[in-house]
Amino acid sequence: MSVLLEKHIVELLHERNDKAISLLYEHYGDTLFGVALKVVRDEELAQDVLQESFVKIWKKSDSYDSSKAKLFTWLFRITRNTAIDKLRSVNTKTTKEIQMDVSDVYTLGVNSTRPEFMDVKENLEKIENKYQIVLEALFFEGMTQQEASDELNIPLGTIKSRLKIGLRELKKIYDPD
């Protein structure tokens, strides 16, 4: 690409002229697609990455400084970083989905986890009230730790500590040795 054309594209970018994106796509689109494809190794994902990259390029166009990097280097970095982010996002999502599939939460017998068939509530009364309240909120009312913190007006860190101590106290009751 000629230096004059590159300068023209940069000027158009700084002016927020739509023509800049067309010229960028025309002159760099295939190469940037190749960069994305090399990272994500999937054509459909690479197309998504390319589109997201051009959106970022447009939004960050005023941050490009020709004294720090050539235009292609700047475009390359944005595309490569976007591809890496996309790959991490897809891998994290896949990992979470896999964990859901291998989880035994859904295969436990219902009777084995219902508190009314166990003496937990009875033994819960044997520990200090501040731990009882937290354990009841979390296990019998189905609140998350954050919800319990909000509902009980207790700091989240205190909820976590009381949960840990409360479970330790229950363990002493069930396993005194």
Kindly report, residue by residue over 123-133, the tens digit of the pLDDT.
788 899 999 89
- In the numeric block, which tokens belong to residue 157? 């860190």
pLDDT of residue 165: 94
What integer is the mean pLDDT of 62-83? Answer: 90
Q: pLDDT > 90: what percent of the chain?
A: 45
Task: Please indicate, yes or no, whether residues 121 and 152 belong to a single structural domain of this protein.
Answer: yes
**pLDDT interval class at 108 (50, 70, 90):** very low
pLDDT of residue 68: 86
Kindly report, residue by residue over 88-105, the tens digit of the pLDDT.
888 776 655 555 455 454
User: Would the pTM of this model clear 0.75, i.e. be above it?
Assistant: no
What integer is the mean pLDDT of 117-144? Answer: 82
Domain tally for the chain?
Answer: 2
Average predicted confidence (pLDDT) for the chain: 83
Cβ proximity of 16 and 61 under 8 Å? yes
Cα–Cα distance, 49 to 145 (Å, whole number): 36
Task: Please indicate, yes or no, whether residues 89 and 146 belong to a single structural domain of this protein.
Answer: no
Residue 113 has pLDDT above 70, yes or no: no
Residue 111 has pLDDT above 50, yes or no: no
Between CA 169 and CA 144, with CA 140 as vertex, the angle to 5 degrees is 90
Task: Please indicate, yes or no, whether residues 96 and 65 belong to a single structural domain of this protein.
Answer: yes
Burial of 165 (0-12, 13-18, 19+ CB in 10 A): middle
Task: Please indicate, yes or no, whether residues 76 and 135 belong to a single structural domain of this protein.
Answer: no
For residue 48, the domain's CATH number is 1.10.1740.10
Sign of CA dihedral 133, 140, 122, 175: negative
Region class of 114: left (phi > 0), else alpha (psi between -120 and 50), else beta: beta
For residue 125, the domain's CATH number is 1.10.10.10
Task: Please indicate, yes or no, whether residues 105 and 119 belong to a single structural domain of this protein.
Answer: no
The range of the structural domain enclosing residue 12 comes to 1-113
